[in-house]
Amino acid sequence: MAGNTFGTLFRVTTFGESHGAGIGVVIDGCPAGLELAESDIQPDLDRRRPGQSEITTQRNEVDQVEILSGVFEGKTTGAPVAMWVKNKDQRSQDYDKIAGEFRASHADYTYQAKYGHRDPRGGGRSSARETAARVMAGSVAKKILKQAGVQVDAFVSQVGDIKLDKPLDKLEMSLREENPVRCPEPVAAQKMVALIEEVRDAGDTIGGCVTGWIRGCPVGLGEPVFDRLHADLGKAMLSINAVKGFDFGSGFEGIGMKGSEHNDEFFEKDGRVQTKTNYSGGIQGGISNGMDIYFRVAFKPVSTLLKEHKGRHDPCVLPRAVPVVEAMAALVLVDHWLGNRLSPL
Amino acid sequence: MAGNTFGTLFRVTTFGESHGAGIGVVIDGCPAGLELAESDIQPDLDRRRPGQSEITTQRNEVDQVEILSGVFEGKTTGAPVAMWVKNKDQRSQDYDKIAGEFRASHADYTYQAKYGHRDPRGGGRSSARETAARVMAGSVAKKILKQAGVQVDAFVSQVGDIKLDKPLDKLEMSLREENPVRCPEPVAAQKMVALIEEVRDAGDTIGGCVTGWIRGCPVGLGEPVFDRLHADLGKAMLSINAVKGFDFGSGFEGIGMKGSEHNDEFFEKDGRVQTKTNYSGGIQGGISNGMDIYFRVAFKPVSTLLKEHKGRHDPCVLPRAVPVVEAMAALVLVDHWLGNRLSPL
Amino acid sequence: MAGNTFGTLFRVTTFGESHGAGIGVVIDGCPAGLELAESDIQPDLDRRRPGQSEITTQRNEVDQVEILSGVFEGKTTGAPVAMWVKNKDQRSQDYDKIAGEFRASHADYTYQAKYGHRDPRGGGRSSARETAARVMAGSVAKKILKQAGVQVDAFVSQVGDIKLDKPLDKLEMSLREENPVRCPEPVAAQKMVALIEEVRDAGDTIGGCVTGWIRGCPVGLGEPVFDRLHADLGKAMLSINAVKGFDFGSGFEGIGMKGSEHNDEFFEKDGRVQTKTNYSGGIQGGISNGMDIYFRVAFKPVSTLLKEHKGRHDPCVLPRAVPVVEAMAALVLVDHWLGNRLSPL
Amino acid sequence: MAGNTFGTLFRVTTFGESHGAGIGVVIDGCPAGLELAESDIQPDLDRRRPGQSEITTQRNEVDQVEILSGVFEGKTTGAPVAMWVKNKDQRSQDYDKIAGEFRASHADYTYQAKYGHRDPRGGGRSSARETAARVMAGSVAKKILKQAGVQVDAFVSQVGDIKLDKPLDKLEMSLREENPVRCPEPVAAQKMVALIEEVRDAGDTIGGCVTGWIRGCPVGLGEPVFDRLHADLGKAMLSINAVKGFDFGSGFEGIGMKGSEHNDEFFEKDGRVQTKTNYSGGIQGGISNGMDIYFRVAFKPVSTLLKEHKGRHDPCVLPRAVPVVEAMAALVLVDHWLGNRLSPL
């Protein structure tokens, strides 16, 4: 019930606080026989770490992953895969003054009310630093999925009012990592960066959207009733700090459509059942239909104001949230990919 | 993994198909000592049933709940509470012709691909009729919550482009059941009804939004990391047929705000910690903060076109979805309300 | 937590009380594509029902199974399989007098203390009648296992001091159903029956052992640490009414042996790895090794004294417990048989 | 499903291999507000460690616990409590020769068959070294229980044929740690030690029984059907390496009794409901009744023969298994102690 575990078959349990010994994760249910090394995980951790660019926080944490168990001679054994990153900075002085106050729109008040005792250093368990654990687990999931032909990507599609409006099939994912905002469309990226710089210079913060995009997903992932693929994706995304909304396929924008426009008609091509349009976002009846899966994740502007903590926080968390969105999507997919082995007889 | 169970402590398992023997639910974890009778459940079932008004399907199903276990002399015993409604109409002729085809934007194709064998009668397990089971369980949850001072409501806030724009605290919930669209604002309701009638007469369907609103929620419900209160609410809503999106508090609309505008400042009044604004939607760090919780649920226009099945389907499912949204919200809340008993020591 | 669900992948939830509407079960996770009819389940229910012979209770309950969901045209669809038997006798008069008293060694006191409210009619939820639900689910599990070549059997191996001492490979299972005590060895069976009759005539009760025997189990079922195959079998058996102990392989009797005697040496025969002896009981490191699995289940003499309730209770529950032991073993095995699909990659 | 997690509300997940980086555990669901320090855990780890006495293995591992998360200023915060011990000796040379062979009655063969890839160093994940993780978690559970007035003890009650025959209420637990075999009765202890020395000198191993004894358990722990308190205790014990059997209360020895002898009659004393005898072992209908809980755990002679590995293995694992039995019992009890908060309303 305490909610630090995610997934059913590929079960991920995270632990650690912002200013404790480190941030870790245990994966129970990682199948045996996967080649796995720290080098599979480090790149995503690097995409998540602070201090990457001028538009992120200037704190410089080098998060170095260590695999603690579950791997022997470079391959998983079926035993739990534990990984962690040690915290470099366990000092607590900077945060001492906040121990007694409730910062607006932070978790300080609710944690205090719920538990009666909390770790105030850097937000303790409520710090976005916890997402480092998710990214480690997600990299393992992504590696499994890649072997199964599934490509999981995320990118920044909106910052404040600046929207990326190109259709998915016109996007070039290789361009995404070439700008600090992780938007695969250079013109929009430039505008987003400018807006973030402006907000940063005003000591403020800004929100936006990350879009998730999954290609190559086989038909049949997801369960019909409560554990629909998109319901699990939604929960996964909403569990990320600062997320306020999720939609997939036609989403909130499909509300105004008529049923006769919205239906995705089936046709067969190259021996594969496909749909002409994809308002369904690749999921029908809670189960993947083989088309691209896509969804939007809405992030609020984060609460820690830079006015008070110059350079120590992100004016816009979205670029660093991209690997977290990918990680959580991968965890959901690998869970259902395993689940799909269980039926039929 | 098969996903027909919802909840951790108040565990709800549903069963049954559209044209099988009936639709049922087992609640495991319902605390002992709750006064419970069929009359607590029937009103919500009646709000969900087809044939209520001119703007819903004209099929006339009277769903009569039977409590099968877990209640002795009018009070729950702590044993599983099983309930069901028998299906009146188990004929399958009308649907025989669809057994061999995949209806656009339905679950036919994905079920067939996943399971290799499916019940095509009325959509079988994928039918929205399954929500009758959720409503039964939700009514039990709502009764527990009511005793704890928590009021769970939902209403239709948007149909197509017609939006209800009044702030929550100006709404009069008692007006909601006085119009067939379940919108608590008579003028907007009238416009919505007119639009639905227009769409119905064209043999088409239309989507919209249901808003959930929870008052009186105590501080402390929700868990910090994966099982955040809003993440569980999001999953719950996304598991309802035809739902494509969920947001809470400032949601997708908060994207354009600056952090300095968006922060909910604390103040104390009447010995209670409150916030001046409520962009957080009553949830901070995944945990309820005692303010009103509110969220939006986006429904697509349903896929079954009335052109083909005149009078047998809803031109707009939202009015009948209202009790389902309430039920799912209540299931999430009661689960976390129980969970809140587990910590601290 | 409330504990009415068993299993992880093949999840069985039971409901119902001795004198309520009926006893039911929902299986979530039954793979699609299994041919299933009431006639697959009824025979085991008949072996469990009261009134079968002179040495069981003389109450005559005909338990007639109904499949409520999850089966279409004779095959499972992957949706929850719900089944139940209606209770014939819902009268409660006979039990009214016990509502206010705590019967020795029954659950009356602990239920009352825990829940504050209980159904006293026939023991309510604590009645062994609840095992009818397990038998229904177990029959489905046995059918799946049979298709996988796994044979699950149980038999009475001890009543009071009378022990069946033949080694397993000398037993003829076909003889088991030819005597009312369900012991596959006619001479021992006769002695057991005589002892039970003697005890019955004295208005008393007697305990004993049921042995479980699983043949054809593939290598690899079970998980290494907490969910060892024998740990799950043990929990399954200990969850049956009146059970006080469980051991497998050499069990309590292996205590006196030396390690050098107890080791099961490997050899290869017919291309299959086997062990010369089988003190391990077919399970090593928590995982099946392909040899026969066998275990003992110790039943206490039941508490309801016949002196008070002549003919209404079993002097010895073991013959009727045989199908329950088989059912629970089958539930454990099918769960791990499904689990074995999840690893390796 | 992968089975490295134990418990429902106080969820314990273990990781690590015998010769990997270390052995660790994450507790999710530990209530906030518990005073906790390494010094609470170290004593039990010391009781478990190799090299304690002449009758245990002569390997000298000093297992030093480190708390990695979940504790701030000496008190738990409600966040996951992660703990681990680093392995001192990660060399693998000694075990290289066994990588290609299947040791009799070990997990080598079944792991290889199940996973296709395994860590052979010191048994990898199947090593009894994994129980260090259980002991760490168990110490936390014991501390919570102690504050609730529940005392959890275990002791060696049988080695080979040498049995401790004193009734529980005549035993003096304080004497238990004064002899290397952890039997609280000095005369029996001496005989047990002599037998173990004899077996050790012959390069062999011997089994026996550990008895668990729980005093001060409140009424109401346990759930009625599958999660009976004794069923969970049984599973917990059967999940320990080398365990072959479990019984509680009258256990296997109660088989020969008549119901009229076996019934525990209720009486009231000092305002508390008690039973005259305690054949039930403190549990009725799966729920604790406030009397002492006691149970036996049967250990086989371990398979690693000292002939081959002189001084590196225990001739009798029981003395070191005592803290493991206590730990597992404590995990079960604290889980149900928390669960007992959930009902009634």
D270-296 per-position pLDDT tens digit:
889 999 999 999 999 999 999 999 999
Q: Do the bridges between strand D22-28 and strand D11-16 make them parallel or antiparallel, or are there none, so unpaired?
A: antiparallel
Distance from CA of A209 to the nearest CA of D (A): 29
Which one-letter amino acid corresponds to residue A62?
V
> What pLDDT score does C50 carry?
85
With beta carbons under 8 A apart, name residues in chain B contacting C32.
114-117
Confidence class of residue B53 from pLDDT cuts 50, 70 and 90? confident
Q: Output the average pLDDT for chain A.
A: 93
- How far apart CA B110 and CA B124 sit, in angstroms, is 13
Calculate the alpha carbon distances from A222 to A325, B4, B107 in Å. 18, 12, 12
- How far apart CA A148 and CA B150 sit, in angstroms, is 46
Q: Say if CB A318 and CB A243 are below 8 A apart.
A: no
Q: Say if CB D103 and CB C277 are below 8 A apart.
A: no
Average pLDDT over residues C266-276: 92
- How far apart CA C62 and CA B205 sit, in angstroms, is 50
Q: Residue C55 pLDDT > 90, yes or no?
A: no
Q: Among A69-78, A119-128, B2-11, C207-216, which stretch is predicted with the lowest mean pLDDT?
A: A119-128
> What pLDDT score does B99 carry?
61
- Chains in contact with A, where contact requires at least 3 CB pairs less than 8 Å apart: B, C, D
Tokens of A55: 């538009």
Q: Look at C245 and D228 and tell me if their CB atoms are within 8 Å.
A: no
Distance from CA of A189 to the nearest CA of C (A): 39
- Chains in contact with D, where contact requires at least 3 CB pairs less than 8 Å apart: A, B, C
- Chains A, D: CB contacts under 8 A, how many? 154
Tokens of C61: 């309950």
Q: Which of A186, A110, A109 is nearest to A155 (CA)?
A: A186
State the fold for domain B5-342.
Answer: Chorismate synthase, AroC fold (3.60.150)
Q: Which of D258, D292, D250, D296 is nearest to D275 (CA)?
A: D292
Distance from CA of D177 to the nearest CA of A (A): 34
Residue to mutate among B226, B228, B253, with most A CBs inside 10 A, is B226
- For C294, the 3-state DSSP assignment is strand
Calculate the alpha carbon distances from C42 to C21, C88, C176, C240, D52 in Å. 19, 16, 18, 20, 58
Q: Look at C69 and B4 and tell me if their CB atoms are within 8 Å.
A: no
Q: Look at C252 and D252 and tell me if their CB atoms are within 8 Å.
A: yes
Q: Residue A306 pLDDT > 90, yes or no?
A: no
Q: Do the bridges between strand D293-299 and strand D243-248 make them parallel or antiparallel, or are there none, so unpaired?
A: antiparallel
Confidence class of residue C93 from pLDDT cuts 50, 70 and 90? low
H/E segment holding residue B291: none
Q: Residue D92 pLDDT > 60, yes or no?
A: no
H/E segment holding residue D223: none
Q: Which of A156, A94, A159, A103 is nearest to A126 (CA)?
A: A103
Distance from CA of D343 to the nearest CA of B (A): 5
Q: Among A255-264, B301-310, C158-167, C261-270, which stretch is predicted with the lowest mean pLDDT?
A: B301-310
Q: Look at C32 and A345 and tell me if their CB atoms are within 8 Å.
A: yes
Q: Look at A80 and D13 and tell me if their CB atoms are within 8 Å.
A: yes
- For C165, the 3-state DSSP assignment is coil
- How far apart CA C198 and CA D97 sit, in angstroms, is 61
Q: Residue C273 pLDDT > 70, yes or no?
A: yes
With beta carbons under 8 A apart, name residues in chain C contacting B13.
5, 13, 26, 28, 80
pTM exceeds 0.80: yes
Average pLDDT over residues C203-232: 97
With beta carbons under 8 A apart, name residues in chain B contacting C115.
32-33, 77-78
Q: Say if CB A22 and CB A132 are below 8 A apart.
A: no
Distance from CA of B206 to the nearest CA of C (A): 29
Chain D residues at the B interface, defined by Cβ less than 8 Å, are 9, 29, 31-34, 78-79, 144, 147, 224, 338, 341-345
Q: Look at C231 and D238 and tell me if their CB atoms are within 8 Å.
A: yes
Give tens-digit pLDDT for B171-216: 999 999 999 999 999 999 999 999 999 999 999 999 999 999 999 9
Confidence class of residue B123 from pLDDT cuts 50, 70 and 90? confident
Give tens-digit pLDDT for B70-97: 999 999 999 999 999 999 866 555 555 5
> What pLDDT score does A307 carry?
65
> What pLDDT score does D55 carry?
82
Give tens-digit pLDDT for D289-344: 999 999 999 999 988 765 666 667 889 999 999 999 999 999 999 999 999 999 99
> What pLDDT score does D100 carry?
67
> What pLDDT score does D88 carry?
85
> What pLDDT score does C95 carry?
56
> What pLDDT score does D303 carry?
82
Q: What is the DSSP string of D260-322?
A: HHH---EEEETTEEEESS-TTTTEETTEE-SSPEEEEEEEPPPSS-TTTSTTTS-S--HHHHH
Q: Output the average pLDDT for chain C.
A: 93
- How far apart CA D173 and CA D187 sit, in angstroms, is 14
Q: Among C270-274, C322-326, D317-321, which stretch is predicted with the lowest mean pLDDT?
A: C270-274
Which positions ≥6 away from B253 have C-beta within 8 Å? B247
Q: Residue C159 pLDDT > 80, yes or no?
A: yes
Q: Look at B24 and C66 and tell me if their CB atoms are within 8 Å.
A: no
- Chains A, B: CB contacts under 8 A, how many? 335
- Residue corresponding to tokens 């369904």: A280
Q: Residue A39 pLDDT > 90, yes or no?
A: yes
Residue to mutate among C26, C35, C335, with most B CBs inside 10 A, is C26
Give tens-digit pLDDT for C180-201: 999 999 999 999 999 999 999 9
Residue of chain D minimizing CA distance to A32: D115
- How far apart CA B67 and CA C24 sit, in angstroms, is 13
Q: Residue C98 pLDDT > 70, yes or no?
A: no
Q: Do the bridges between strand B11-16 and strand C283-284 make them parallel or antiparallel, or are there none, so unpaired?
A: unpaired
With beta carbons under 8 A apart, name residues in chain C contacting B81.
15
Distance from CA of D220 to the nearest CA of B (A): 12
Average pLDDT over residues D223-228: 96
Residue to mutate among B145, B146, B345, with most D CBs inside 10 A, is B345
Q: What is the DSSP string of A16-45?
A: E-TTSSEEEEEEE-PPTT-B--HHHHHHHH
With beta carbons under 8 A apart, name residues in chain C contacting D107.
224, 284-287
What are the DSSP E strand ranges found in chain D? 5-6, 11-16, 22-28, 65-67, 71-72, 75-76, 81-86, 151-159, 162-163, 208-215, 243-248, 266-269, 272-275, 283-284, 287-288, 293-299
Q: Do the bridges between strand B75-76 and strand B266-269 make them parallel or antiparallel, or are there none, so unpaired?
A: unpaired
With beta carbons under 8 A apart, name residues in chain B contacting D145.
none
Average pLDDT over residues D28-49: 97
Q: Residue D41 pLDDT > 90, yes or no?
A: yes
Q: Which of B38, B14, B46, B23 is nearest to B319 (CA)?
A: B46
N- to C-terminal Cα distance for chain B?
32
Q: Say if CB C108 and CB C98 are below 8 A apart.
A: yes
> Phi/psi class of residue A102: alpha, beta or left (left: φ > 0; alpha: ψ in -120 to 50)?
beta
> What pLDDT score does B280 carry?
97
Q: Look at B257 and A207 and tell me if their CB atoms are within 8 Å.
A: yes
Q: Say if CB A303 and CB A105 are below 8 A apart.
A: yes
Average pLDDT over residues D93-101: 60
Q: Among A1-15, A145-159, B50-64, which stretch is predicted with the lowest mean pLDDT?
A: B50-64
With beta carbons under 8 A apart, name residues in chain D contacting A87.
none
Cα A156-A159-A164 angle, rounded to 5 deg: 60
- Residue corresponding to tokens 């997934």: A7
Distance, C-alpha A203 to centroid of its chain: 26
How many helices (H) and strands (E) are present in chain C, helices listed first?
8, 16
Q: Look at A17 and D72 and tell me if their CB atoms are within 8 Å.
A: yes
Confidence class of residue C51 from pLDDT cuts 50, 70 and 90? confident
Burial string for D293-302 (b: 16+ CB within 10 Å, else e) reads bbbbbbbbbb
The residue extents of the domains of chain A are 5-342
Give tens-digit pLDDT for A148-203: 999 999 999 999 999 999 999 999 999 999 999 999 999 999 999 999 999 999 99
- Of the partner residues B20, B70, B75, the one whose CB lies closest to the CB of residue C15: B70
